[in-house]
Amino acid sequence: MGRPVQTKPPRTGANRREFFKRSGATTVALAASTQLLPLGAQAAAAVAVFQHGVASGDPLSDRVILWTRVTPASAKPSIVVNYVIATDPGLSQVVRRGSGKTNPGRDYTVKIDVTGLQPGTSYYYQFSAEGSSSPVGRTRTLPAGPTNRLRMAVVSCSNHAYGYFNAYARIAARADLDLVMHLGDYIYEYGAGQYGTARTPEPATEMVSLSDYRLRHAQYKRDADSQAMHRQHPLVAIWDDHEITNDAYKTGAQNHQPGSEGDWTTRVSVAMQAYYEWMPVRAPDTSDLRRNWRNFAYGDLAEMIMLEERVSARSQQLPAGSGYTQTGAFTDATRTLLGPEQEAWLAERLRTTPARWKMLGQGVMFAQLKQVAAANAAGGGVFLNSDQWDGYQPARNRIYEVLKGNAEHAAVNDVIVLTGDIHSSWAADLTQDPNNPDVNSGGYDRTTGAGSRAVEFVGTSVTSPGVDTDTSGATANFLRSVNPHFKYINLHRRGYMLLDVTRERAVCEWWYVDTVASPSNNETFAVAFEVQQGSKHLTPSAQTTPRVNPPLLAP
């Protein structure tokens, strides 16, 4: 059979692209500048100067990045931007004031790393510049020390051209979240009509130059739902490929043609520059922006280990054809997703973190995805997608060795892998030999979960299309029959994951919006799975209870 899970834009031609268009999507010529208001009144002026909203991100227990962008009436060499941060939405209990400067060299973006904050505390902030004040944003530092609960939303694949960020709006309305984790494809590179027709991208061509990347980021930041989410919650983000271009790897990408689009290193460099200008992200290494792996301690409850899987080390994808086996170049142990340095760092974090839960925030599915089942001893079967960890199995096995432990290192328990990328929803037990039912020989018991080393929650997209024709679930059911380690698969719904973590268990809920073809406030709870502390496998769960008396939303 063919490849049942098409997760990326087709490589050539328009015909297959047509297949992935939303069947009900119409070309809505909605101006991307719906938030732009005429100048005149003070309120309107405020919208114009701060038309890209405010955002915060990369919270630690004592600091957080505050972000905005100033739009001056005319070009200026330098602009002073003031900020205030307080503990109340009315900004009367001020804990810090300060100022910074921005200029055209950073596209008038502003990023302040505010330090000296208290752990586990909600703050409210506002910028002022050019005689105007920004909307008030809300953020929250991470807790320190003994910590009992983490509650966050997990999103990925927010393609402006494919529709409306209704999932972002639903997340914005949840006052009790600690943060939002974005697992990549925050923006997409395509030109008008190339991948989604609900909204027209700016610029209308594929983004290649620094100016292109900046314009695209700016368009996404003008979206009202994006602004609402950023205004209420701090973001912890990693990029996947589309922040640069499709199926990126260290030295190139499927959607990069050096002959017409220039030098790859230059393209990555300008994409990184625009990303760090426009995202509320703290660069871990300013001497090499590709190295953005970093970790966040959520008290003693969880460590969020955020991985870089695209441009710091990834080996080029091997051709997947209509399915591939674990032979030939696929067995080359030198092929890598993370690179030796990041792999060593990951192993060190997993082995030494004092946190109960180890959460990997990363881009591509870790679990095996096969179209033909076979135990490893019988060849392992036929795999579908060579862009995900299946295409880098020796590298994945090295991580399994860390989880299993050895004479020198204890096994690593309570690991949760969080994933985006494939525009569909999956819950998986992570086991090295899922089609071998003999646990004693390294296999996996689908009934008891024995043989599982960790679990994976894969969130669907905010807007990008999955297999939207699979409304009956037939394809999902087929995949579950081949892949017994998946406890849940949904290929056609859009939305987000809600992760609720206590010391005893981690519950993942899948929430779906009713449409992305038009703005809508409707969302539905679909299903929940949980992992009990120490169990390392999934069981069905129930919807969790929101926190009582959450911090007030920003006004």
Give 96's strand partners: 85
3-state secondary structure of 220: helix
The residue type of 427 is: A
- Which DSSP letter does residue 344 get? H
Shortest distance, CB of residue 463 to Fe ion, whole angstroms?
Answer: 9
- Return the H-helix or E-strand segment holding 259: helix 258-261
Q: Which residues contact 138 (CB under 8 A, 6 or more apart)?
A: 89, 122, 123, 124, 125, 231, 232, 233, 551, 552, 553, 554
Asked whether position 189 contacts Fe ion by CB under 5 A, the answer is no
Shortest distance, CB of residue 248 to Fe ion, whole angstroms?
Answer: 12
Instruction: Return contacts of 205-214, CB within 8 angstroms, 24+ apart.
Output: 206/245, 206/255, 206/261, 207/271, 208/261, 208/262, 208/267, 209/270, 210/270, 210/273, 210/274, 213/270, 213/271, 213/273, 213/274, 213/275, 214/107, 214/274, 214/277, 214/278
> What is the number of alpha carbons within 13 Å of residue 204 lying toward its C-beta?
2
Shortest distance, CB of residue 18 to Fe ion, whole angstroms?
Answer: 18
Report the site for Fe ion in 452-511 (rule: CB under 5 A): 464
Shortest distance, CB of residue 242 to Fe ion, whole angstroms?
Answer: 6
Strands (E), 70-161: 79-86, 94-102, 109-114, 122-129, 132-133, 137-140, 149-155
> What separation in angstroms does the CA of 310 have from each of 6, 123, 244, 250, 272?
20, 34, 9, 6, 12
List phi, psi (to 5°) of 221. -75, -15
Shortest distance, CB of residue 188 to Fe ion, whole angstroms?
Answer: 7
Total number of residues shown for the chain: 555
Shortest distance, CB of residue 265 to Fe ion, whole angstroms?
Answer: 24
Q: In the complex with Fe ion, which residue's Cβ is closer, 139 or 317? A: 317
Stretch that binds Fe ion, among 185-193, 196-204, 324-332, 434-442 (CB under 5 A): 185-193
Report the site for Fe ion in 153-172 (rule: CB under 5 A): 157
Q: In the complex with Fe ion, which residue's Cβ is closer, 171 or 248? A: 248
Q: How far apart are the first and last CA of the chain?
A: 53
Q: In the complex with Fe ion, which residue's Cβ is closer, 187 or 499? A: 187
The number of angstroms, rounded, from the C-alpha of 448 to the middle of its chain's C-alpha atoms is 31
Stretch that binds Fe ion, among 30-38, 150-158, 359-367, 450-458 (CB under 5 A): 150-158
Angle between helices 224-232 and 210-222 (to 10 degrees): 80
Place of tokens 């309305």: 173
Shortest distance, CB of residue 494 to Fe ion, whole angstroms?
Answer: 12
Shortest distance, CB of residue 410 to Fe ion, whole angstroms?
Answer: 36
Cα dihedral angle (214, 218, 221, 222), rounded to 10 degrees?
Answer: -170
Q: In the complex with Fe ion, which residue's Cβ is closer, 242 or 349? A: 242
Quote the radius of gyration of the chain (alpha carbons, Å). 23
Phi/psi region, residue 14 (left: phi>0; alpha: psi -120 to 50; beta: rest), is: alpha
C-alpha 359/C-alpha 512 separation (Å) is 23
Q: In the complex with Fe ion, which residue's Cβ is closer, 11 or 404? A: 11
Give 86's strand partners: 94, 124
Q: In the complex with Fe ion, which residue's Cβ is closer, 157 or 513? A: 157
Shortest distance, CB of residue 47 to Fe ion, whole angstroms?
Answer: 30
- Return the H-helix or E-strand segment holding 64: strand 64-69
Q: In the complex with Fe ion, which residue's Cβ is closer, 239 or 511? A: 239
Stretch that binds Fe ion, among 178-186, 301-309, 337-345, 493-501 (CB under 5 A): 178-186
Q: In the complex with Fe ion, which residue's Cβ is closer, 112 or 157? A: 157
Q: In the complex with Fe ion, which residue's Cβ is closer, 449 or 466? A: 466
C-alpha 73/C-alpha 45 separation (Å) is 10
Shortest distance, CB of residue 158 to Fe ion, whole angstroms?
Answer: 9
Stretch that binds Fe ion, among 182-190, 294-302, 441-449, 533-541 (CB under 5 A): 182-190
Q: In the complex with Fe ion, which residue's Cβ is closer, 185 or 247? A: 185
Shortest distance, CB of residue 50 to Fe ion, whole angstroms?
Answer: 29
Confirm if 379 and 325 have CB atoms less than 8 A apart.
Answer: yes
Q: In the complex with Fe ion, which residue's Cβ is closer, 494 or 537? A: 494
Shortest distance, CB of residue 526 to Fe ion, whole angstroms?
Answer: 20
Shortest distance, CB of residue 157 to Fe ion, whole angstroms?
Answer: 3
Confirm if 54 and 231 have CB atoms less than 8 A apart.
Answer: yes
Among 107, 185, 303, 433, binds Fe ion (CB under 5 A): 185
Stretch that binds Fe ion, among 166-174, 184-192, 374-382, 504-512 (CB under 5 A): 184-192
Structure-token pair, residue 433: 């030999």
DSSP string across 77-89: S-EEEEEEEESST
Q: In the complex with Fe ion, which residue's Cβ is closer, 139 or 158? A: 158
Q: In the complex with Fe ion, which residue's Cβ is closer, 187 or 531? A: 187
Shortest distance, CB of residue 236 to Fe ion, whole angstroms?
Answer: 18
Q: How many amino acids of this chain bind Fe ion (CB under 5 A)?
A: 3
Pair type for strands 234-237 and 54-57: parallel
Q: In the complex with Fe ion, which residue's Cβ is closer, 219 or 464? A: 464
Residues that bind Fe ion (CB under 5 A): 157, 185, 464
